[in-house]
Amino acid sequence: MAHYAFLVPARAGHCLSVVGLACELVNRGHRITVISGPEIAPLLHEFKLPLCEFTERVTLTLWERFSCPIFRCIGARFAAGPRASLRAKSEDLLQRMPQILEDLNVDGVVADQIIPAAGTVAERFDLPFVTFCSALPWNMDASVPPMFTEWRHKSGVPARLRNRAGHAGWGWCLRPSLQAINRYRRKWDLRPFSRIDDVYSPLAQISQLFPEFDFPRAAAPPCFHRVGSLGAGRPCNTAGFPWERLDGRPLIFASLGTIPHRGNRAVYARVAAACAGLDAQLVLARGKWADQNDGSENSHDYPGDPLVVDFAPQPALLERAALLITHAGLNTALEGLSRGVPMVALPRATDQPGVAARIVYSGVGLSASFRKCAAPELRRMVERVLREESFRRRARELQTAMQAAGGVPRAAEIVEQALTTRRPVLRP
């Protein structure tokens, strides 16, 4: 059978959302090599997937080094940082990845959407490629707010103008990456791209969203497929968790993801204070990959004596949970929906505001500010979601809808068809 390369960022969330698809293709007889950083080697080892190590080398230009502090001073670091980083990573990939693909001798490529240069490297060797959206899609669509905003979905001219302005800002962030990609495309006698959406696969683009957990899209490409979570059914290692400390009360599970952040500790305290005194038990997970955690925290540091752990077997706990308090990472939100659990979202950055907006839009939960939400406000939301049956009923409806979207089997079919036939796989 075929040998496929998976280009994945060295982040736990992006890797966890793709291993299910990779394993399904292995079960269908294909050979898979994951190209990513060494940080995800232990995770891939659990799934018996080989890793070709590719450590990113981010080299900023003199202007980027000078401009980033300026943007930080005026409160726009969120724009300057990604703009410089994405450009540098694209240059690095375009320089070094061709030799890696040539050495691996693969038949096709599956690349995460946040690696915009991946498709160009595949085209250089006349390899078919599929774009995989492990996070919210980056596609420019004026009917949908940009993924980094918490804007509500609205129709009408004002909303479309607002969305266009937001997408234009995101396009400004990606412009240096597009320019770098086009320099190499001209060098390799490939047709230059006119817009950033051209870098994504014309054969198939696969998203972990599903229609009931997304805004209505008017301009999605014909090859854009929303198949639901690809990681919700992953195996879960429950060893090491103190199950004996669960006391039988309704379970509230709180997780702020696997990326360490210095602001997490204050939010953990607010979450604990909001849940203290409720007829429920709080389990608070600090994130297995959060290496910056110093281990000094324990349940006695927070009100209400919650169960605080570095690592929690999230899927197994969600099976028991009455409520999920989340940073609105897409994988965590989808794992909650796969078990019919309503949510309270505290989005922090990147696409998390967009995920939180979909949590509210779909009726499965509520959302508040990560930085500004005080414990009393958070408590009112927690009590409301626990009390009102409509949130749990809607979460169960989306659980059924996500199962119908196809998940891993459907994604594997799309990848096989696209990479084998080299023809676009269109939505029904």
What's the chain's length in residues? Answer: 428
pLDDT tens for 311-359 read: 888 889 999 999 999 999 999 999 999 999 999 999 988 899 999 999 9
Look up the CATH architecture of domain 243-403.
3-Layer(aba) Sandwich (3.40)
Stretch 174-201: mean pLDDT = 96
Beta bridge partners of 365: 343
pLDDT tens for 14-34 read: 888 889 999 999 999 999 999
Residue 363 makes CB contacts below 8 A (sequence gap 6+) with 390, 391, 394
The answer to whether residues 293 and 286 touch, using CB atoms and an 8 Å cutoff, is yes
Cα 93–Cα 99–Cα 101 angle in degrees, nearest 5: 85
Instruction: From the options 3.40.50.2000, 3.30.2010.10, 3.30.420.140, 3.40.50.450, give the CATH code of 3-228+405-421.
Output: 3.40.50.2000
CA 113 to CA 130: how far, in whole Å? 9
The answer to whether residues 146 and 166 touch, using CB atoms and an 8 Å cutoff, is yes
What pTM was estimated for this model as a whole?
A: 0.91
pLDDT of residue 84: 82
pLDDT tens for 209-246 read: 999 999 999 999 999 999 999 875 566 677 788 999 99
Q: What is the mean pLDDT of the chain?
A: 90
Pairing of strands 343-345, 365-367: parallel
> Which part of the chain has CATH 3.40.50.2000?
3-228+405-421, 243-403
The answer to whether residues 314 and 295 touch, using CB atoms and an 8 Å cutoff, is no
Residue 70's pLDDT band (boundaries 50, 70, 90)?
A: low
Does the pLDDT at position 284 exceed 80?
A: yes
pLDDT of residue 67: 60
